[in-house]
Each structure stands twice: as C-alpha cells, then as structure tokens.
Amino acid sequence: MKISILGLGYVGAVCAACLSSRGHHIIGVDVSEAKIDIINQGRSPIVEPGLEELIREGVRDHLITATTDVQQAVLDSDLSMICVGTPSKANGDLDLTYVRTVCQQIGQALRSKDSRHTVVVRSTVLPGTLRQVVIPELEQASGKRAGSDFGVAMNPEFLRESSAIADYEQPPMTVIGELDEASGEPLVQIYQELDAPLIRRPIEIAEMIKYTCNVWHATKVAFANEIGNISKAVGIDGRDVMDVVCKDTALNISRYYMRPGFAFGGSCLPKDVRALTYRARQLDLSQPLLNALMPSNALQVQYALDRILGYGKRRIALLGLSFKSGTDDLRESPLVELAERLIGKGYELKIYDANVHYARIHGSNRDYIESRIPHLSSLLVDDMQAVIDHGEIIVLGNSEPAFQALVEHPPEGKRVFDLVGFMPSASSDSLEGVCW
C-alpha cells in the first residue's frame, strides 16, 4: 500500500520504518528540511534501537522517501497517517495547532484527488477531536464529505521509547477506531499480518483507549510507589510486596475489577482502605492516591443519586440492597447509602433483595440496618413484581440474575437505571447506565 506519514518525529519515524519493512511504500512528510535530508540519506532522525537499520533498508529498497510537500504526498498515496505532535498547553489541554494545520493541508490535496483516500490519526488526541476538529477541517478544506468521499479512522499507537520496534511488531492489541467500515478496512489490510487481537470500534472509543491506557499505567506507578513508601516505613521491602501482588492473575492483574459501574462496598475494601491510609498518616507519609480512594467512591454514589433525582419522579424501586449478589451482607453497601439518601429526600422507596429478609437477619447485619436505616423493615418487600409495579424509576443495584430481564424488556412507561452493567449497549430512552 502507498502510505503518506505526516510528521516524522518519534511515532512517525517508527511507523515509516516498520511499515516499509513489510513492503509498504512510504512517503514521509515533515516541515523540517534537516529531518527530510537525514531520512533520505538512510539515517534515523531519532535515537531508537534498530530504527536506523530499518530506515536504511527502506531507502535502499526505494520503499521510503521523505518530502516537505504535503500536496504531492497525499496525491501519491492511498492512505495518510497523521503523526504530528499534540503538546500540552499551560492549562493542561492539548495544543491541536499542528493537527489543524495538517488536516487543512490534507483537505486541500483531497480537493483535487478523484480516488478515495483514507485519513488516519495516530497522534494522541482527546475523545471528540476527530468529530469536532479533524473531520470539520478536512471537509472544509476539501469540499468533500467524510465517510462518503474519503475515509477517517483513529489508530492509537502504543510504542515505548527504546523498545518501539518490538512494540510495533508484537503489540498487545491493534485498535482501529473507524468512522465507518470502509474507513477501517485499509488499516485491517495493513495490520492483518501482526499476531495480535485486531479491535474495531467507533472513533471515540479509540481516542479514549490511548488515554485510558496511559493514565492506568501512571496510576499503577503511583500506587506501587505509595505502597512501597508505606512498606519501607514499617520495615518491609515494597518490591517483595508488589511481586507477590502481581502473581495473582485472577483478581489483582485481571479484568475482574476493571469494569465501570457503581461504588465498591462490603466488609473489607472500605475498612482496609481506611486502615492503611490511617497508618500512613501515623507514619507522616503523604499518600494522595490512596487518600483519594474513599472520596472517589463516595462521588460515585452521588453521581447515581444525581441521575435518579434528575428524572423528576418520586416512586423508586431499588432491586438489590447487599453490596453484591449472592450475599446478605449489608455492611458498607453503597446501595444502603443510596437508599438512605433517597429516604432522606422524601422519595417513596421500596426495596427487593431475595437474600435480605429483615426478620431473619441477626448480629452485625441487623445492627448495621438499625443504625443506618431504621425504617428498612417497612421498605423491604418480598414480592419483586410488587416493587417493580411501585417504581416509576427501577434501579438495578446488584447482579442478581433475575434482574437481567428488566434490561432485555424494560417495563412500559418506566425508566430503568442500571448500576451493574446488564445493559449490552449505551443508554437509550428507557435504559440508562451509571457509566455507559
């Protein structure tokens, strides 16, 4: 395939070299004459192990050329990859000056091009950038329509400095965010030889994935450092602690807790977060990440409450009260907190939970009910259908299988609010999810 790569910095140079090594014809474009000369001489403009060898081979085999002429590069290629920088502004936002400029230049070239062309963004951009910036700039400059006259896709890169070529050749996944199927198809052809899952999603998801991955990596580093600081203060090697933590691939290093939804609760997580952060304070350690966990969790309850209040309905059916299905444990259940707040605001609340029967609850669970929601016995109803009939808003609180049917067939005239993740897709007129 003939591919023009606009921006020959770190990402652009690596992509040019790796794509040429697989037989693609690459036209590299950059505003720097010096950089163009370096590449055309078969040398690398950046320090990266193995990169200069690939560029040298690409130039030797007439698979890589470099130019400052955007117009000709677009006309002579089938697909353009935007790899320009998106530096930070002083306020933390992205500076999209280079993205806007290159989109205008590509659009002007497309104005005089008859064959279909695909524009792919590899630069890291925030969700909404393609629809709000890239596509409008391309359409205005070209006089053509995205999706019908030219393709648009998002293809985030996951390259690490010093191991970029290996990361390109052996990626954990390849993500294609496509405006439509035709827009993504050229990228499928490019990447089909790579031994990695090929994931096709709407462009906004692909935009968000890169940020999610990087912020998650940053979070892991900060988390490990804070655990290490506490460990050292009590005479433990934090590296040993985290080494053992990482051996658990069922929960610790897995997708189990990585699902957006409602707040965490139960007898362990809240208590242990509070205990460890208290100990850190005793040790005079500042642990901003760990200290933010409980406030963040409380905000998720508030977000759910705000959505329910925003519906403007007074009768609420709460399905599920224990912090998870299959248990009657109400200790620090976020659903108890949600119920308490609804009661406090005067809402007409009825609750169904097959595992919670006030008459047979005893011990700490009974004490917890009587101290947190003393009127709970009058709110609990054993008949699930009666609770559903009562509610104008039906809140699905935990993953009891019986609640699934309410997502598949929402009761007519009622709003279902899903805190669990039963919904197979995003929110609609009758269904809404807390994070989707």
Catalytic residue IDs: 268
CA pair distance 266, 351, nearest whole angstrom: 18
H helices then E strands: how many in the chain?
19, 13
Q: Dihedral sign, CA of 279, 252, 301, 358?
A: negative
CA distance 212 to 308: 27
Q: What is the DSSP annotation of 378-393? A: HHB-S-HHHHHHH-SE
Tell me the one-letter amino acid at 211.
Y
Cβ neighbors of 53 (< 8 A, separation 6 or more) are none
E strands, 144-279, in order: 151-154, 174-178, 198-202
Contact 67, 105 (CB under 8 A): no
Answer for the pair 315, 390: CB distance below 8 angstroms, yes or no. yes
Task: Provide CB contacts within 8 A for 283, sequence distance 6+.
Answer: 230, 233, 234
Residue 350 β-bridge partners = 317
